């Protein structure tokens, strides 16, 4: 790792959000059902950083950052989760991330009808809750938009998105989104993009990514 990257990461770590957001109207959808093809088929949620599984680490950071927001993990039943964790999965499984998002927010809305906003985040980005918090801070107030999407430079992050339940219901109340890309899923919604720290969005797709995250997280 270059010294420049080291300084950048040290600066980003120093700016990890210390505040929490008390938002009972916000529900979180944690995408954890994908297959780690470039990781030799390893289960991404079960990968470990500093002795903690990714899914446990991200859930803990969700609870710290959004203590009043319900979280549902979109993942197969075979994934071992902490007691009391909400879990669902698109049916049939392996329908793609759009199907996972769609299943997740509808699951939450059935159980928490007062929700008005949903935040989507991936399990393979260990600092995703911080990215979502940065997005929320940058986008507030959402005004008339349908939500907001995170970006780093020109790179968009469709798996780090905030969306109004009202807009999602109007567009996808009875739609079949299986095998739809997440970019296509978000396209009908008015989702302005906001810059968030790149360090918060770094994910794990390869063994090299995993080794790097074990150095910096």
Token readout for 199 is 């360090």
Domain contains 118: yes
Q: What is the pTM of this model?
A: 0.91
Per-residue pLDDT band at 150 (split at 50, 70, 90): very high
The boundaries of the domain holding residue 162 are 17-216
pLDDT, position 165: 97
Domain contains 11: no
Q: What is the pLDDT of residues 164-189, one digit of tens each?
A: 999 999 999 988 999 999 999 999 99
For residue 21, the number of C-alpha atoms closer than 13 Å in the C-beta half-sphere is 24
Report phi then psi at 79, rounded to 5. -75, 120
Domain contains 12: no
In this predicted structure, the answer to whether residue 211 has a pLDDT above a threshold of 90 is yes
Q: How many domains are there within the chain?
A: 1
Q: What is the pLDDT of residues 90-137, one digit of tens each?
A: 999 989 999 999 999 999 999 999 999 999 999 999 999 999 999 999
CA distance 8 to 137: 21
The helix (run of H) or strand (run of E) holding residue 28 is strand 26-31
CATH number for the domain harbouring residue 40: 3.90.550.10
Domain contains 132: yes
CA distance 129 to 27: 12
Domain contains 115: yes
Listed in sequence order, the residues at least 6 apart from 204 whose beta carbon sits closer than 8 Å to its beta carbon are 39, 44, 47, 54, 124, 125, 126, 210, 213
Domain contains 52: yes
Domain contains 84: yes
Q: What is the pLDDT of residues 18-57, one digit of tens each?
A: 568 889 999 999 999 877 788 888 899 999 999 999 999 9
Q: How far is CA 90 from CA 102, 104, 215, in A?
A: 8, 8, 34
Domain contains 7: no
């Amino acid at each position: 790792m270059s010294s420049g990257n080291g300084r950048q990461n040290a600066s980003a770590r120093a700016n990890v959000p210390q505040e929490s957001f008390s938002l009972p109207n916000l529900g979180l959808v944690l995408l954890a059902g994908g297959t780690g093809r470039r990781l030799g088929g390893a289960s991404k949620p079960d990968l470990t950083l500093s002795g903690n599984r990714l899914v446990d680490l991200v859930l803990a950071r969700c609870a710290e950052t959004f203590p009043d927001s319900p979280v549902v993990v979109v993942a197969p039943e075979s994934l071992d989760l902490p007691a009391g964790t909400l879990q669902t999965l698109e049916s049939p499984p392996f329908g793609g991330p759009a199907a996972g998002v769609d299943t997740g927010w509808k699951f939450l809305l059935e159980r928490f009808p007062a929700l008005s906003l949903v935040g989507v985040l991936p399990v393979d980005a260990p600092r995703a809750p911080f990215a979502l918090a940065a997005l929320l801070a940058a986008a507030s107030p959402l005004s008339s938009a349908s939500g907001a999407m995170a970006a780093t430079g020109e790179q968009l992050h469709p798996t780090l998105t905030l969306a109004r339940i009202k807009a999602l219901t109007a567009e996808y109340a009875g739609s079949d989104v299986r095998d739809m890309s997440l970019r296509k899923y978000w396209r009908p919604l008015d989702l302005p993009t906001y810059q968030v720290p790149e360090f918060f969005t770094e994910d794990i797709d390869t063994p090299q990514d995993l080794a790097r995250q074990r150095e910096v997280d």
